[in-house]
Amino acid sequence: MKCPLLPGSNGHFTFTLPHARVELMEGVPFARIDSITVPLLDAPETSAAALMLPLQFVTEILPAHGGGFFYDASAAELRTFEAVLRHSPAPRPPAGGVGAAVGTGGATGKSSQPPSVTYPHPSRRLIVVDAGHGGPDHGMTGPIGDDPWFVEKDVALAVARKLADALRAEGMDVLMTRTSDTLIALSDRGRIANRSKGDVFLSIHVNAPGRSDAAGARERGFETYFLAEAKTEDEQRVERMENESVRFETGANAPKGDPLNFIITDMAQNEHLRESSDLAATIQDGLKSVHPGPSRGVQQANFAVLRGSYMPAVLVEIGFGTNAAEAGYLSDTDNQTALARNIAASVVSYLAHYESRVGGIR
């Protein structure tokens, strides 16, 4: 679906929103919004002196990155927050949604209002680090056959903190979804990532097998997930286990379950599938050099925590807390640091590779 936007020349289009600067280029399926590059479902093209953009730009990208916009799916309208309207003449919400014009008044690039968000280090990358579970949601406990002394939420937080330190040491900016023993709704974890305009989303978890017998206790190793429909029985088990956290979420935090929202979110996430898959492979490969293993490979699953993030997103199961030896390994501070540094190095290497392929759209 396309919608006309504004006339431009030389294939480059720039316009200033009250809270963000948007750059587009004809034939290039990416939008640059402030310092971040966002993939588009379709490349912009010009037709009858108007720039045609995929409808996704209005339904997802402006709400996620534009600052002060939300898309009302039931009315098929792009709306602005009141606070934005007070700042400057905001774009008019398009009527009808499909095939609608995005406010040419506020989006012509002639606005005298400079973007209110500025980035002192436009090249710096923001990594969102998510420690799994928290608060009343303990995640898995182990090991099997012992009094449960290993608690996933605690080890996930310890490793996530060390990962944040390691990423900062590599020159990255870091946002943690939680820094203490609190419960953050799964849907909010992705939302935090989007609001912060994160470049990469990393979720840290500890694994448990589907059975609590002797064979289950022998399961060990690490695996990295990216978002997709769960395929194997094992992938579906981990997906169910990690999505269980939803039952701890009540009231305002509970997912609304709007099928249209889900479809839109799913579409946006598909754009990041290849990137997420590459990131997962880089992390999984890197861990082979520090983790006693075995490597269980790159997996795919439809994790609620990954579903809401509009950026390359992976979930790392750093080992089995149900296996006595691995629970011991994962609880050791030095091992946690080694795992964290290894994952951080993989993120740096992935980003360097990603930037060399995608680059800017300028």
SS3 126: strand
CA-based nearest residue to 198, from 80, 38, 63: 38
Closest CB to Zn ion belongs to which residue? 205
Check binding of 205 to Zn ion (CB under 5 A).
yes
Kindly state the tokens that stand for 156.
């996930």
Token pair of 121 as six digits = 């280090």
Distances (CA, A) of 263 to 1, 31, 57, 304: 15, 21, 15, 13
Sheet containing strand 45-47, edge to edge, reads 2-4, 50-54, 45-47
Choices 8-16, 17-25, 225-233, 237-245; region in contact with Zn ion by CB under 5 A: 237-245
Of 8 and 132, which CB lies nearer to Zn ion in the complex structure? 132
Taking the complex as a whole, the smallest distance from the CB of residue 44 to Zn ion amounts, in Å, to: 40
134 part of the interface to Zn ion, by CB under 5 A? no
State CA 133 to chain mean position distance. Answer: 17
As a three-state string, the secondary structure of 163-211 is HHHHHHHCCCEEEECCCCCCCCCHHHHHHHHHHCCCCEEEEEEEECCCC
Find the shortest distance in angstroms from Cβ 315 to Zn ion. Answer: 8
3 or 129: CB nearest Zn ion: 129
Candidate segments 20-28, 132-140, 290-298, 325-333, binder of Zn ion by CB under 5 A:
132-140
- Least distance from Zn ion to the Cβ atom of residue 205, Å: 3
Q: Give me the least distance between CB of 133 and Zn ion, in Å please.
A: 6
Site string for Zn ion, 135-174 (x = CB under 5 A): ----x-----------------------------------
Strands of 222-227's sheet, edge to edge? Answer: 173-176, 126-131, 200-207, 313-320, 222-227, 295-301
Provide the minimum distance between the beta carbon of 135 and Zn ion in the complex, in angstroms, as a whole number. Answer: 13
Least distance to Zn ion from the beta carbon of 179, Å?
18
What's the Cα-to-Cα distance from 298 to each of 52, 145, 227, rounded to whole Å? 37, 29, 11
Question: Which of 18, 132, 190, 312 touches Zn ion by CB under 5 A?
Answer: 132
Which CB atom, from 5 or from 186, has the smaller least distance to Zn ion?
A: 186
- Residue 179 CB coordination number (10 Å): 14
* 189 lies in the site for Zn ion, by CB under 5 A: no
* Of 100 and 301, CB closest to Zn ion: 301
Q: Which residues bind Zn ion (CB under 5 A)?
A: 132, 139, 205, 242
